[in-house]
Each structure stands twice: as structure tokens, then as C-alpha cells.
């Protein structure tokens, strides 16, 4: 078995209905596809209905003939609009009868020096990422608690939700709020049978992220390699969508019932590469270490005398 093959057994999500925000494109689309393959019904929700409908058509075609496949339903919903979320919830219940899980995946982001941003630009990102996530979680949480329906909530954050990062400050502030919500409600709502976890992905190429975060053709030449794809990833590759889908399906499934309040990083070691004080010494060629070792020994001998 290879790392980028589907991991769970057929039917692992049979009988489940999940809502995936931002499910029409990128990582949300890949995770939705795998949930469907594993037997779940999936509602994909975002602002652009035409995009959602095209994805629903494509995913329906791809797996429609297989009896393990669940059904896909596209619903237009701006996650900043609480009324639209409630309407989406009602439409999902009318179609599938119950909701077993929520994947908070919708986001907005772009790189910029913070001092160049208007307050409206900051609001835009924070509202999609943080307000959108807590609105959706609250609307579904109230429903689950009232119906005594166990459920699971998975949120896609980023590694800089924990560390912070310059040049994506609105996203960093919002994602750390989502992570804090995850850890807080994991405790508060455990008594209702609602589980909360998060995934912090490293670079997984998507058009949405690459257009806005890695416009490397416009970067100075000496920065292009470092900021292209896997430039900061020790294992020297980007993530493949199926790897993320495998982890997400596991965390949405009952197999992960004892995991609650956790954030799982899947980044090939990227964030720790940036954090370790001496990690950049990787750039020293191995044959130079004889010279360096000799210098250290000479220094320490000199001190002893």
C-alpha cells in the first residue's frame, strides 16, 4: 500500500451525513469525494452555486455507479450569514433526515504586509474563517444538542494557528480562534456526544491557495525556490490530497471516537523546520563538517589550557 492510496475500508462512513463548507473546490472537494466513496452523504456548501453544482455533477459521475457511494447535495451558503446556515441545515435535514458531522473548511486568505491592509480586508478574512466557523458550529451544535444527536466537528486550521505568522495576520488570528474553539468545545460539549478535532495541513497545492499565497513569479528570484511548493518541507515534497482525505475521513469516522480536542499536523515537518534554532545548518555541505568539528575541538582545547 502506498501513502497516497485510500486508507479506510469500503462502507466506513455508511449511514453518515456530513456538511463540508468550501466543499466545491480544492481540499474540501477532495475530502468530500473520499467521504462519498466511503458511503457518506455529503452536503457541499459555499457562496458560488455554479461551482458547487459542477463539483456535485463531477463527483456524482465519478462514483455514481458504485453501491458504496453516498449522495452529494450542493447548497449555496455564505458562512458569514447565520440565516443562510440555518436554511442549509433545514435543507440537509429535509433531504437526509439527520446530520452526523461538520467539516469547517471554508476560508479566505492572501499574503500582504499588515500595514497595507484596510480594516475591511482584515474583516473579510476574519469573518469567513472565524465567524463563519463559529456560526456554522453554533447553528449545528444547537440542533444536535436539542435532538440528542451525537456528532463530530472537524476544522481545517493551519500550522501558524499555533505559532502565528507575519504576512497572513488576519488568517493567523482567525485560525487560532478556530483552534481555541476546537479545544474549548471538545470539553464543554463532550457531554452531548459532540467531538471536536482539527487538522493543520502544510502545503497541499490548490488553485485557491497558490493564487493568493505563492505568486512566486512575482517574487524576487532568490526567494522563488524557498517559497515554491516544498521549499520549506524537510521531506522535500508537498502533500497529496488523498493523504489529507485519509486523515479527515478517519477523524470524521467512529474509528477516532477517543480522539477529542486534538489538532493533528500533516506537513512533512515544515513548521518544526522553521522553529528549530539550528535547523538551517542543513545548508552546510556534509564535507564541511570535518572543518567545523576541528574548529570546535580547537576552541574547546584552547579554553582548557
Spatial distance between the Cα atoms of 62 and 144, rounded to a whole number of angstroms:
32
- Selecting among 82, 134, 160, 250, the annotated active-site residue is 160
Residue 158 is placed in which grid cell? 493551519
**Nearest-approach distance from CB 259 to ligand HXC, in angstroms:** 23
Q: Which is nearer to ligand HXC, 70 or 108 (CB)?
A: 108
What element of type H or E holds 28? helix 26-37
Q: Which of 192, 207, 204, 183 is nearest to 247 (CA)?
A: 204
Residues 116-135: x/- map of binding to ligand HXC (CB under 6 A)?
-xx-xx--xx----------
- Planar angle of CA 189, 265, 149, nearest 5 degrees: 25
Q: CB under 5 to 8 A by kind: which of ligand HXC, ligand NAP, none does 118 bind?
A: ligand HXC
Residue 34 appears among annotated catalytic residues: no
Query: Rule CB under 6 A: is residue 109 a binding residue for ligand HXC?
Result: yes
**Nearest-approach distance from CB 295 to ligand HXC, in angstroms:** 38
Query: Rule CB under 6 A: is residue 203 a binding residue for ligand NAP?
Result: yes
Spatial distance between the Cα atoms of 297 and 70, rounded to a whole number of angstroms:
65
Residue 42 phi, psi (nearest 5): -130, 130
Q: Which of 158, 242, 256, 260 touches ligand HXC (CB under 6 A)?
A: 158
Q: CB under 5 to 8 A by kind: which of ligand HXC, ligand NAP, none does 133 bind?
A: none
208 Cβ contact list (under 8 Å, min separation 6) = 25, 26
Query: Rule CB under 6 A: is residue 230 a binding residue for ligand NAP?
Result: no
Query: Rule CB under 6 A: is residue 158 a binding residue for ligand NAP?
Result: yes
What element of type H or E holds 144? helix 132-147
Residues 68-107: x/- map of binding to ligand NAP (CB under 6 A)?
----------xxx------------------------xxx
Query: Rule CB under 6 A: is residue 112 a binding residue for ligand HXC?
Result: yes
Residue 96 and residue 41 in contact, taking contact as beta carbons nearer than 8 Å: yes
Beta partners for residue 153, in sequence order: 102, 196
User: What are the distances in angstroms from CA 113 to CA 125, 170, 215, 217?
Assistant: 14, 11, 15, 18
**Nearest-approach distance from CB 243 to ligand HXC, in angstroms:** 15
Q: CB under 5 to 8 A by kind: which of ligand NAP, ligand HXC, none does 112 bind?
A: ligand HXC
Would you report the helix, strand and coil content of the chain in percent, each value rounded to 5?
50, 15, 35
Spatial distance between the Cα atoms of 66 and 281, rounded to a whole number of angstroms:
51
Q: Which of 133, 171, 242, 260 touches ligand HXC (CB under 6 A)?
A: 171
Residues belonging to the active site? 160
Contact positions vs ligand NAP (CB under 6 A): 21-22, 24-28, 46-48, 51, 78-80, 105-109, 128, 132, 156, 158, 201, 203-204, 206, 208-209
Q: Which residues here bind ligand HXC, judged by CB under 6 A? A: 107-110, 112, 117-118, 120-121, 124-125, 158, 171, 203, 208-209, 212-213
Amino acid at each position: 500500500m502506498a501513502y497516497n492510496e485510500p486508507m479506510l475500508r469500503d462502507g466506513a462512513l455508511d449511514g453518515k451525513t456530513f456538511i463540508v463548507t468550501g466543499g466545491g473546490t480544492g481540499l474540501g472537494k477532495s475530502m468530500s469525494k473520499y467521504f462519498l466513496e466511503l458511503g457518506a452523504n455529503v452536503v457541499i456548501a459555499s457562496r458560488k452555486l455554479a461551482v458547487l453544482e459542477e463539483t456535485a455533477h463531477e463527483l456524482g459521475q465519478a462514483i455514481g455507479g458504485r453501491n458504496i457511494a453516498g449522495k452529494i447535495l450542493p447548497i449555496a451558503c455564505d458562512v458569514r450569514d447565520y440565516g443562510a446556515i440555518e436554511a442549509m441545515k433545514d435543507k440537509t435535514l429535509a433531504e437526509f433526515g439527520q446530520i452526523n458531522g461538520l467539516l469547517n473548511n471554508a476560508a479566505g486568505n492572501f499574503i500582504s504586509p499588515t500595514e497595507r491592509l484596510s480594516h475591511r480586508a482584515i474583516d473579510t478574512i476574519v469573518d469567513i474563517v472565524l465567524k463563519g466557523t463559529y456560526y456554522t458550529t453554533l447553528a449545528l451544535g444547537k440542533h444536535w444538542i436539542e435532538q440528542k444527536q451525537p456528532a463530530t466537528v472537524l476544522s481545517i486550521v493551519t500550522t501558524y494557528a499555533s505559532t502565528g505568522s507575519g504576512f497572513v495576520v488576519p488568517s493567523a488570528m482567525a485560525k487560532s480562534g478556530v483552534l481555541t474553539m476546537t479545544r474549548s468545545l471538545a470539553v464543554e460539549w463532550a457531554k452531548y456526544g459532540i467531538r471536536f478535532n482539527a487538522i493543520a495541513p502544510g502545503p497541499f497545492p490548490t488553485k485557491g491557495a497558490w493564487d493568493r499565497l505563492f505568486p512566486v513569479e512575482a517574487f524576487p528570484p532568490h526567494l522563488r525556490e524557498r517559497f515554491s511548493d516544498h521549499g520549506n518541507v524537510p521531506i522535500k515534497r508537498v502533500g497529496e490530497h488523498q493523504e489529507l482525505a485519509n486523515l479527515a475521513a478517519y477523524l470524521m469516522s467512529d474509528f477516532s471516537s477517543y480522539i477529542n480536542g486534538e489538532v493533528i499536523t500533516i506537513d512533512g515537518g515544515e513548521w518544526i523546520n522553521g522553529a528549530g534554532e539550528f535547523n538551517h545548518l542543513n545548508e552546510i555541505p556534509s564535507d564541511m563538517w570535518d572543518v567545523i568539528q576541528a574548529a570546535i575541538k580547537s576552541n574547546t582545547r584552547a579554553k582548557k589550557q
